[in-house]
Amino acid sequence: MLFSIFGLVSASFFMNKDAVDVAFTEAAVGAGISPLLMLATLAIVGRYQNTKALPTRPLISLTIVTITGALLIIGTLDMPAFGAADAPSQLHVAPRYIQDSVEEIGIPNMVTSVLASYRAYDTLGEVAVIFTAGIGVLSLLAFSHANRKEKHLIDDIIELDEHKILRIVIKILVAPILIFALYVQFHGDFGPGGGFQAGVIFAAAIILYTLFFGINVGKKVVNLSIVRVFSAIGLLLYGSVGVVSFVSGKNYLDYHVLAENPQTAQHIGIVVIELGVGITVACVMMLIFFAFFERIGKDKVE
């Protein structure tokens, strides 16, 4: 619960610092999905520790943490004041991003310009990180039980108590959330948003639906093996934009080959890679969610 609140608070904090894009993601992941996964873990392993805790040495840990914290504070002493116009970070690479990106890329959202064009390769890496996380969870959780139980704990709970009101609310909410996700996806170059945010929002809608209608119903909505395939396709789509670039003789992820007008070319490139990001992020989130929730209650049966 605290974790979820923390997520929400940091989302507002990011919002306050004008990092709306980050706030989006934090609200969906930090306040929504990750506490949910924690709850799922608790449901799997139980609330209390069975065996005695290993002997811990709180003093040593405390000292190390204190020293690190002190170092961090010392480190910030000489840092330029927050938002100072003459800070080095504002003077070196940033002016070009701020002044020329509208002309060079042709979209008003500078964050998207930096993320999806100037430093697009980092973003490709980040998508790969998410993909890796998904693969990790899948390979560790998905196959641990050969005999798959047809019914899951959530389904049992739902059968006992139908959650009628919540279900109706969810039914009303899911469609707008999905549409909102698509809006965030395709509007990322003009307003805050983009593939990462859209992906998590989309997945959150599906997860919400599954939570109140049960895993079996949820699985009818999304076919997991297709989701799995698409988690790879998103990353491949992103990467193949770069392949197109160097097949046409330019450097990797140079969007200028995609159209004659440089602005149009950049625009096409950004839309396509954002789509790749969105697909992979949404699919991986769903995969992780299902991998966790399918495990709940299984260990008790055996």
Partner 1 sequence: MISHLPILQVIIPLLGAPACLLLGKARLSWIFATVVALITFIISVLLLIQVNEQGTISYMLGGWEAPWGIEYRIDYLNAFVLAIISAVGTLTLIAANDGIKKEIDEARQPLFYVSFLLCFAGLLGITATGDAFNVFVFLEISSLSMYTIIALGKDRRALWASYQYLIVGTIGATFILVGIGLMYSMTGTLNMVDLAERLPPVAESKSVLASYAFIFVGVSLKLALFPLHFWLPNAYTFSPGIVTAFLAATATKVAVYLLIRFDFGVFEMSSPEVKQTINRLFITLGIAATLIASWTAIKQSDIKRMLAYSSVAQIGYMIIGIGLDSSSGVQASVLHLFNHALMKGGLFLVLVAIALQLGSTQLKDLQGIAKRMPWTFFGFVLGGLSLIGVPLTAGFISKWYLVSAAAEQEQWYIIAFVLIGSLLAVAYIWRVVEVAWFKSADSEIANQQQQTMPEKIPLLLLIPLWILILSNIYFGIDARFPIYFSQQAANLFFGGL
Using alpha carbons, select from 145, 150, 158 the residue that is nearest to residue 295.
145
Q: Is 119 in the site for partner 1 (CB under 8 A)?
A: yes
Smallest separation, CB 250 to partner 1 (Å) = 6
| Measured distance between the N- and C-terminal CA atoms of the chain, rounded to whole angstroms | 30
Nearest CA-CA partner of 217 in 137, 155, 138, 284: 155
- Figure out which of the listed residues 50, 56, 76, 147 binds partner 1, where binding follows CB under 8 A: 76
Q: Which of 4, 15, 126, 187 binds partner 1 (CB under 8 A)?
A: 126
- What is the closest distance, in whole angstroms, from the C-beta atom of residue 126 to partner 1 in the complex? 6
Task: Please tell me whether residue 258 binds partner 1 under the rule CB under 8 A.
Answer: no
Q: Closer to partner 1 by CB, 36 or 253: give it.
A: 253
The answer to the question of residue 248 lying near partner 1 (CB under 8 A) is no
Contacting partner 1 (CB under 8 A), which of 190, 251, 261, 301?
A: 251
Q: How far is the CB of 96 from partner 1 (least distance, A)?
A: 6
Q: Say whether residue 102 binds partner 1 (CB under 8 A).
A: no
Of 7-15, 38-46, 169-177, 249-257, which part binds partner 1 (CB under 8 A)? Answer: 249-257
Min CB(145)–partner 1 separation in Å: 11
If binding is defined by CB under 8 A, does position 81 make contact with partner 1? no
> How many chain residues are in contact with partner 1, going by CB under 8 A?
59
Please pick, from the candidates 94, 177, 178, 217, the single residue that binds partner 1 as defined by CB under 8 A.
94
| Amino acid making up residue 213 | F
Binding flag, residue 17, partner 1 (CB under 8 A): no
Closest contact distance (angstroms) between CB of 234 and partner 1 is: 8
> What sign for the dihedral angle of Cα 59, 60, 61, 63?
positive
Using CB under 8 A as the binding rule, whether residue 128 contacts partner 1 is answered as yes
In angstroms, what is the minimal distance from the CB of 119 to partner 1? 6
Contact 224, 288 (CB under 8 A): no
Binding test (CB under 8 A) with partner 1, winner from 97, 180, 183, 186: 97
Q: CB-wise, 127 or 201, nearer to partner 1? A: 127
Annotate the chain with three-state secondary structure: CHHHHHHHHHHHHHHHCCCHHHHHHHHHHHHHHHHHHHHHHHHHHCCCCCCCCCCCCHHHHHHHHHHHHHHHHHHHHCCCCCCCCCCHHHHCCHHHHHHHHHHHCCCCCHHHHHHHHHCHHHHHHHHHHHHHHHHHHHHHHCCCCCCCCCCCHHHHHHHHCCCHHHHHHHHHHHHHHHHHHHHHHHCCCCCCCCHHHHHHHHHHHHHHHHHHHCHHHHHHHCCHHHHHHHHHHHHHHHHHHHHHHHHCCCCCCCHHHHCCCHHHHHHHHHHHHHHHHHHHHHHHHHHHHHHHHHHCCHHHHC
Of the candidate residues 131, 290, 292, 293, the single one contacting partner 1 (CB under 8 A): 131
Q: How far is the CB of 84 from partner 1 (least distance, A)?
A: 10
Binding site for partner 1 (CB under 8 A): 71-72, 74-80, 87-94, 96-97, 117-122, 124-126, 128-129, 131-133, 135-136, 138-140, 143, 228-229, 231-233, 235-236, 239-240, 242-243, 245-246, 250-256
